[in-house]
Amino acid sequence: MDTFNLHVEQAVRINLHTQFATNASRELCFRQAFDGAAGKLTLVFLPNYGVSLAEAIIPAADLSEQISTAGTEASGTGNMKLALNGACTIGTWDGANIEMAEAIGSAHFFEFGLRTDALAQLQAKGYDPRALAADTPVIKDVLSAIATGSFSPESPGRYVELIDGLLHRDRYFLLADFSDYLRAQAQVDALFAQPNAWAASCLKNIAGMGSFSVDRTVQEYRDRVWCLKAPNSEADRT
């Protein structure tokens, strides 16, 4: 029963943090509309996301954000679908992102964040997110704006718990990766401002994804798992 209670408590806490982060994003977009920046940032939540919505969204995407912490193996196959449809990727060195970057070429993959070995070294030294935030003006300013209610003036303390969690735990090293994320986003902006260069990078993404096709996958299963011989004639195929 104690284990069950612990798991429920952890799930509730994670769910609350997710809701806080979602609300903070929504309020940021709402607030900037009144600060002379309308049209520069739009946040859309899609209910009941599934294949039908994906069929409309994925081909329309310009940039795929795959921001799981390196080593968590949290990136699945959605990143591949986006790249196959021409979206460039900004992402960490995690999961399928690694194989994609190697296939596409690092010049056409916007990598950011610490890799697993660097994260292990940081943790071994004693990662202190509070000290990092205090010494990094951009992180300090962002966290302060959220925590003091700049985006939620009707409830200034609404996101204090969310920010405290980052400053005291930050188990996914979000603050450690944040500055490098901004650097990679600046590279994205610079390339996107050059339509021809961006289009060339999109084509490199599409071409690089050929190795992830189902044809190759089935062929490898045939050769390595099922150990079957390829048919030599039409009669063999039937």
**How many domains are there within the chain?**
1
pLDDT digits (tens, 9 = 90+) for 204-223: 999 999 888 888 888 888 99
Cβ neighbours around 176 below 10 Å, total: 21
Residues 99-145 pLDDT 10s: 999 999 999 999 999 999 999 999 999 999 999 999 999 999 999 99
The 10 Å CB-count burial string (b at 16+, else e) for 181-210 is beebeeebeebeeeeeebeebbebbeebbe
Q: Does the residue 79 lie in any domain?
A: yes
Residue 101, domain member (yes or no):
yes
Radius of gyration, CA atoms only, the chain: 22
Q: Which domain holds residue 211?
A: 46-120+180-238
The CATH number linked to 223 is 3.40.50.2000
pLDDT at 158: 86
Q: What is the average pLDDT value for the chain, to the nearest integer?
A: 85
pLDDT per residue over 156-190, tens digit each? 888 888 899 899 989 999 999 999 999 999 999 99
Q: Report yes or no on 84 lying in a domain.
A: yes
pTM score > 0.85 for this model?
no
Q: Is the predicted pLDDT of residue 2 greater than 50, yes or no? A: no
In this predicted model, what pLDDT tens digit does every residue of 12-37 receive, in sequence order? 344 556 776 777 777 776 666 556 66
Span 227-232, mean pLDDT?
Answer: 80
